[in-house]
Chain A
Amino acid sequence: MGASAALDYDAQLMLRVKDGDGSSFTELLEKHRSPVVHFLYRMVQDHAVAEELAQEVFLRVYRSRNTYEPTAKFTTWLFRIATHLALNWLRDGKNERGQERLDDATGDGPVLQVADRNVSVEQKLLYEVRLEEVRRAISTLPEKQRAAVLMHKYEEMEYSQIARVLECSESAVKSLLFRAYETLRVRLAHMA
């Protein structure tokens, strides 16, 4: 990305942060806080850890303000930091924490998001069971496939952007997604 006219708005905001404009950082934070926390939550499946990692993401963004160069979309850079932190966290303590999380029947997600007051207890339980199945299916995906699916499904990122975040080719991303969705189709088939 060369000319400043081609910069995305977020990159322009980040350049203003570089120039000492604190309100631009607040704007970036307000805009990207939820997507980053939600992405991290689905990656690590622990809300407190997700928020802690998200804090670290924005802290790193702030620390890097003086050396920031808009060589890619701001969100690509942001999600690259988030993905690296999540993958490191998973790799550092996957066995104990991952298993702990899967065995935790209560979880910390919004397990009762069904707004309808007329939903019966059985329906709620069924919903919770299905949700747990989905979470479990996602958590058993290899880390890169998981990250690719979450960025594709929830962040609605293009293949090219996912490729830049994961530092691989577009065809590799398509392959990751295809294999991941195939695994999910098989794992969730019994729920259909």
Chain B
Amino acid sequence: MNCPIRSEETVDLLLAYTARRLDPVKSALLEQHMDVCPQCAEFRAGQDFVWKALDAWEAPPVTPDFNRRLYQRIEAEAAEPWYVRLFRVPLAGWKPAIPLAAAGLLVFAGFIYDHPVVAPNQPASGGTVRVSVSEAEQVENTLDDLQLLRQLDSGAAAQPSESM
């Protein structure tokens, strides 16, 4: 059997062994190997020690009101208006977008600088004439209408005196 330490691909055999996750057949083979390989035996001893040291580190129990606090937060979120929930995006998710957005803004500003926005072009000369003609016609028609109205008014004012 090749020494697992000398091969990176098989070093997980030793890790699995010390984690007690290696199947019995492989464990037996590895133990036989370690009896004659001081390098692997040393690795196992060191790894066993680390494993036991880590075993001693127990995490404190979860506080009893963990669920209650969580449900309170869920309820509070559910009561928020939809637009608040809409913008509840994890900040971490936006972090990579911030420099991208800044770069995009700079490019856009540069583009605007190079291509200044101009006021809509004046209509072509033919169009101007057409508009002017129509406007002049409108004015002329209005003046005609006003004159007609004045004539009607003067006629109406003359009629009563005639009848009297």
Q: Which residues of A contact B (CB under 8 A)?
A: 26, 29-30, 33-34, 37-38, 41-42, 47, 51, 54-55, 58-60, 62-63, 84, 88, 108-110, 113, 127, 130-131, 133-135, 138, 149, 152-154, 156, 159, 174-175, 177-178, 181, 184-185, 188-189, 191-192
Asked whether any CB of chain A lies closer than 8 Å to the CB of B92, the reply is: yes
Q: Given A29-B70, A58-B70, A109-B59, answer yes or no on A174-B12 (Cβ-Cβ < 8 Å).
A: yes
- Return chain A residues, CB-CB under 8 Å to B50: 181, 184-185, 188
- Is A153 in contact with B51, judged by CB distance below 8 angstroms? yes
**In the bound complex, what is the Cα–Cα distance between A26 and B67 (angstroms)?**
9
> Roughly how many angstroms separate A181 CA and B46 CA in the complex, as a whole number?
9
Closest Cβ of chain A: how far from B9's Cβ, in Å?
Answer: 8
Contact A135 B92 (CB under 8 A): no
Cross-interface CB contact of A41 among B59, B74, B88, B90, cutoff 8 Å: B59
If A29-B67, A55-B69, A181-B47 touch, whether A60 touches B90 (CB-CB below 8 Å) is: yes
CB contact between A134 and one of B53, B61, B73, B77 (< 8 Å): that residue: B53
Partner of A38, one of B46, B59, B66: B59
Q: Are B57 and A134 touching (Cβ within 8 A)?
A: yes
Known: A42-B57, A58-B70, A59-B74. A33 touches B90 (CB 8 A): no
Residue in chain B with minimal CB distance to A57: B70
A138 contacts which chain B residues (CB < 8 A)?
54, 57
Nearest Cβ on chain B to A81's Cβ, whole angstroms: 10
* Per-position 1/0 for B41-73, Cβ under 8 A of A: 000001101110110111111110011011001
Contacts of B53 in A (CB 8 A): 130, 133-134, 184, 188, 191
Q: Which residues of B contact A59 (CB under 8 A)?
A: 70, 73-74, 77
CA distance A60 to B88 in the complex (A): 11
Q: Is the CB of A84 within 8 A of B92?
A: yes
A185 touches B59 (CB 8 A): no
